[in-house]
Amino acid sequence: MVLINLLLPCILFLASGSLILATCNGHQELCSRQYSDVSFVGAHNSPFVGCLPQQNQEWSVTQQLNNGIRFLQGQTHRAPITGSLNFCHTSCFLENAGKVTHFLRKVKTWLDVNPNEVVTLLITNGDSVPIADFDSTFNRSGITHYAYIPPISPLAINAWPTLQELINAGTRLIVFLDSGANVTEVPYILDEFEYYFETPYDQTDCTFSQCKIDRPSNASASGRMYLVNHTLNINLLNTGILVPDRDAAATTNSLASIDAQAHLCSSLYSRKPNVMLLDFVDKGDVIGAQNVLNAL
Ligand SMILES: *[C@@H]1O[C@H](CO)[C@@H](O)[C@H](O)[C@H]1NC(C)=O
Ligand SMILES: *[C@@H]1O[C@H](CO)[C@@H](O)[C@H](O)[C@H]1NC(C)=O
Ligand SMILES: *[C@@H]1O[C@H](CO)[C@@H](O)[C@H](O)[C@H]1NC(C)=O
Ligand SMILES: CC(=O)N[C@H]1CO[C@H](CO)[C@@H](O)[C@@H]1O
């Protein structure tokens, strides 16, 4: 009896320690939720990091991940001369963030040391690069084995595994491509618009007073997850060229602003957004907003 009394604090300490460790994306409550029932704040143009007008983020991808961002979006193009698949903004002359392989290696290294985390990539295929080139790019980075392959494609919205199931299976990377996916050829690169609809981008209304379906055009909301472009642009020196509004980022990414648009969306579609896509995820309270969306 004395022995048990002596050991009890120790047992409780160890038990609470293991409870704390049993989390999925940082929260025990998320483990039993289906992937399609979890909301993420996403880094829009995650690879374009810096202080120039065409750059959308200030944290490197590893910093984004370290700070709780689990949804990374990026735009690819073929690099001139080398022909490699790179993350470039509109054109590789404007912004060239390097090879997709290098980016994927950083994500893979991060997944290696963070075994309870599920990460999503949304890649756009600006130059209609064949899907096999994406496959070889993924293979070269060593990340492919983490990618989730649905048992059937497309998977119904209510058929997604839970975060715990994805973690247990070691398939903690969900990959979407906006065009050119073909799961017969490459089973883990999923067609974004079979799974999601998106609200309009290039928004200049800082109140985000809409939550319209933009792509696919005429899509029905039912049966789809959805992504909200909560990114604010300004008209650069009245040239008509829209660039991310860096100065407003703290307000755009405040809990109040994200929450207000998410509420509008939820009221229209009777489901909360799956993704709120954001520029400058280092500004505002984006993880706070994600926690509110997930009712944590
Ligand atoms: C990528 O790796 C997989 C598994 O090893 C292989 O089946 C596939 O052919 C590879 N893709 C390319 C384009 O080399
Ligand atoms: C997908 O790939 C398969 C196998 O190569 C091919 O038969 C099919 O036509 C492709 N689908 C589309 C839509 O390109
Ligand atoms: C969308 O619906 C409108 C009205 O029904 C139709 O005119 C238009 O062609 C449709 N667009 C596409 C891409 O299907
Ligand atoms: C302005 C802008 O770039 N908007 C983005 C909205 O989100 C989708 C995600 O797929 C991107 O394709 C758009 O580029």
pLDDT along the chain (296 residues), means of 10: 59 52 92 98 98 96 98 97 95 95 98 98 98 98 98 96 98 98 98 96 88 93 96 89 94 98 98 98 98 98
- Alpha-helical (H) ranges within 142-232 are 163-169, 192-195
d(CA 106, CA 187): 22
Q: What is the structure's pLDDT at 3?
A: 60
Give the nearest ligand 3 atom to 217 CA. 13
Q: What is the structure's pLDDT at 44?
A: 98
C-beta of 73 in contact with ligand 4 (< 6 A): yes
**Residues 166, 160 contacting (CB under 8 angstroms):** no
Structure tokens at 156: 């119904």
Residues with CB under 6 A from ligand 3: 217-218
pTM of the model as a whole: 0.91
d(CA 27, CA 17): 14
C-beta of 185 in contact with ligand 2 (< 6 A): yes
Output the residue whose Cα is nearest ligand 1's atom 14: 136
C-beta of 101 in contact with ligand 4 (< 6 A): no
d(CA 124, CA 105): 18
Q: What is the structure's pLDDT at 2?
A: 58
d(CA 55, CA 244): 8
What residues form DSSP beta bridges with 189?
Answer: 175
